[in-house]
Amino acid sequence: MDQGQGSRAVWSWVFYDWANSVFATSVMVGFFPVFFKQYWAQNLGVTESTFWLGMVSSLSALLMVFAAPLIGLLSDAAGRKRRLLAVFAGVGVLTSSGLFLVAQGQWSLALLLYGLGLVGFSGANIVYDALLPEVVGRRDLERVSALGYALGYLGGGLLLAVNVAMVLSPDRFGLENATEAVRWVFLLVGLWWATFTLPVLLWVRDDVPATTVTARVAWSELHRTWRELRALPNAFTFLIAYWFYIDGVDTVARMAVDYGLAIGLDSGDLLRALLLTQFVGFPSAIAFGQLAERWGNRRTIELAILVFILVVFWAWRMQTATEFYVLAVVIGMVLGGIQSLSRALFARLIPAGQSGRFFGLYNMLGKFAVVLGPLLVGGMAVVTGSSRVGILAVSVLFLCGAILLSRVNVSEGECQAARL
């Protein structure tokens, strides 16, 4: 197990990040918030559309809060991680493609498909994360995890570049207007996601024999996992820290374009800035993996959290598109790093051979965090009438995460995991 499954399996695993990141970039962060406000929900007010977008993001995350531990547990017990990955990725592919068919003004249908797409995206990621310790040895966890995020940024950025070009110059692609171009964006995302998911389904194997799991056994095992986690105090403390700071990270990523629109920035500038973030993120994710080898994983994550705190305070006072471009570069430098190193650090703090059920809890807390963040931004925007107040409140999440993370002893945590 510590030797991993070989280079073909490793490359197949990292290419799933290349596959599904197009949903995060072109749908979740990029075109859906813009198209929702300007096409599907054009008759809703700015703050009302922000509220509904945040509500659906939160509800889909809340669903995954309850589902994540069971998905992780089932992926371990049944030995069918690839099959579960295919099911959830399939949901994401179909719903993303389905947005192509949603007519103007059908904002509730658009939100339904978007919410289901978030569930598919998140569910597949639970299984994908749990495959990491099976595919690669512990020595290479940071490097391979960072490589996955780096390829995700590159793949997501490449398709986003094509999509932005289509929307800004639809006539060059034989399209009637920008509206038709955006509809094609959602269909292209589904096709890309489906195509590049095939390698991980074909060439990454499941090392756990298939078994039958009843609902009673599943809940019993879930309770046992919680008890074992409490016996791993460093892993437990890290998860709580992760719950706070990843909430801030996901909120900044998911609501950035919506926030920019709310304070009056042009949608074209916002999409170009998002594209810039992707290509900055590609080398930066790899660099963060190398930096973690020199500084240590925890210290490198703390550096990323500090940068995010500065970003939030800058965004609070931001006035121009130029500032948004600068912030996009800064975010791109740390976004992939904090995500990939968090995944690798948790893999070090849990027992070998039990990745599915522990990563189920990891993703559960990550998705529960996303319940709070968008509601915080959207709710504060409605209550105060200012989107700036909501984005400023996100800094509290980063501060709490940093304080808790400082209490994690990685070396001690690895020894605790080895004894279980």
Give the pLDDT band of residue 184 (cuts 50, 70, 90). Answer: very high
Q: Are 167 and 178 spatial neighbours (Cβ–Cβ below 8 Å)?
A: yes
Ramachandran area for residue 296 (φ above 0: left; ψ -120 to 50: alpha; else beta): left
- Asked if 239 and 246 count as a contact pair (C-beta separation under 8 A), the reply is no
Q: What is the Cα–Cα distance from 300 to 361, expressed in whole angstroms?
A: 23
> What length is written for the chain?
420
Q: What is the mean pLDDT of residues 364-385?
A: 71
Report if residue 162 sits inside a domain.
yes
Tell me which residue range forms the domain holding 141. 7-419
Q: Note the maximum CA span of the chain.
A: 63
With respect to residue 294, please indicate whether it lies within any of the assigned structural domains.
Answer: yes
pTM here is: 0.77
Indicate whether 2 belongs to any domain.
Answer: no
- CA-angle at 8, arms to 5 and 14, nearest 5°: 90
Q: How many domains does the chain have?
A: 1
- Would you state the pLDDT for residue 77? 67
Residue range 305-357, pLDDT digits in tens: 999 999 888 888 877 778 878 888 888 889 888 988 999 999 899 887 677 77
What the block records as the tokens of 220 is 């019993």
pLDDT band at 303 (very low <50, low <70, confident <90, very high): very high
Angle at 403 between CA 398 and CA 407, to 5 degrees: 135
Instruction: Tell me the C-alpha distance between 155 and 378, whole Å.
Output: 30
What confidence score (pLDDT) does residue 241 get? 95
pLDDT at 325: 81
Section 384-410 average pLDDT: 85
Residue 370 lies in a domain: yes
Task: Report how far Cα 329 is from the mean position of its chain's Cα atoms.
Answer: 18
The answer to whether 99 and 110 have CB atoms below 8 angstroms apart is: yes
**pLDDT higher than threshold 60 for residue 229:** yes
Q: What is the CATH number of the domain that holds 32?
A: 1.20.1250.20
pLDDT of 27 over the 80 cut: yes
* Angstrom distances, CA of residue 211 to CA of 27, 157, 201, 218, 299: 37, 40, 20, 12, 40
Of the chain, the percentage scoring pLDDT greater than 70 comes to: 89
Rounded mean pLDDT of 42-52? 80
- Secondary structure (H, E, C), the chain: CCCCCCHHHHHHHHHHHHHHHHHHHHHHHHHHHHHHHHHHCCCCCHHHHHHHHHHHHHHHHHHHHHHHHHHHHHHHHHCCHHHHHHHHHHHHHHHHHHHHHCCCCCHHHHHHHHHHHHHHHHHHHHHHHHHHHHHCCHHHHHHHHHHHHHHHHHHHHHHHHHHHHHHHCHHHHCCCCHHHHHHHHHHHHHHHHHHHHHHHHHHCCCCCCCCCCCHHHHHHHHHHHHHHHHCCHHHHHHHHHHHHHHHHHHHHHHHHHHHHHHCCCCHHHHHHHHHHHHHHHHHHHHHHHHHHHHHCHHHHHHHHHHHHHHHHHHHHHCCCHHHHHHHHHHHHHHHHHHHHHHHHHHHHCCCCCCHHHHHHHHHHHHHHHHHHHHHHHHHHHHHHCCHHHHHHHCHHHHHHHHHHHCCCCHHHHHHHHHHC
Instruction: Find out whether 375 and 397 touch, Cβ atoms under 8 Å.
Output: no
Instruction: Quickly state the pLDDT bin for 1 (edges 50, 70, 90).
Output: very low
Q: Of 47-61, 69-83, 211-225, 250-264, which has the strongest mean pLDDT?
A: 47-61
Average pLDDT of 381-392? 73
Q: Among 12-16, 33-37, 76-80, 131-135, which stretch is predicted with the lowest mean pLDDT?
A: 76-80
CB 37 within 8 A of CB 45: no
Place of tokens 């006035």: 319
Q: How confident is the model over 41-45, as a mean pLDDT? A: 81
Of 220, 291, 207, 188, give the one whose Cα is nearest residue 73: 220
- For the cut 60, the answer to whether the pLDDT of residue 148 exceeds it is yes
pLDDT of residue 213: 58
Q: Any idea which of 131-135, 166-170, 218-222, 398-402 has the lowest mean pLDDT?
A: 218-222
Q: Kindly report the CA angle at 279 between 129 and 200, in degrees rounded to 5? A: 30
Q: Is 246 left (phi over 0), alpha (psi -120 to 50) or beta?
A: alpha
Q: Which pLDDT band holds residue 96 (cuts at 50, 70, 90)?
A: very high
In a domain, 365, yes or no: yes
Task: Please give the Cα distance from 373 to 375 (Å, whole number).
Answer: 5
Task: Examine the pLDDT at 390 and tell me if it is beyond 90.
Answer: no
Query: Is-contact 71 87, C-beta < 8 A?
Result: no
Report which of residues 392 and 148 the model is more confident about.
148
Residue 209 has pLDDT above 70, yes or no: no
Q: Which of 324, 280, 275, 319 is nearest to 168 (CA)?
A: 275
Lowest mean pLDDT among 12-26, 67-81, 125-139, 168-182: 67-81
Average pLDDT rounded to a whole number, residues 147-172: 91
Within a domain: 59? yes
Identify which of 102, 105, 117 has the alpha carbon closest to the alpha carbon of residue 28: 117
Q: Write down the pLDDT at residue 3.
A: 54
Average pLDDT of the chain to the nearest whole number: 85
Residues 167-185, buried b or exposed e (16+ Cβ, 10 A)?
beebeeeebeebeebbbbb
Whether 340 contacts 146, CB under 8 Å: yes
Q: Is the pLDDT of residue 301 over 70?
A: yes
The answer to the question of residue 1 being in a domain is no
First and final C-alpha spacing in the chain:
16
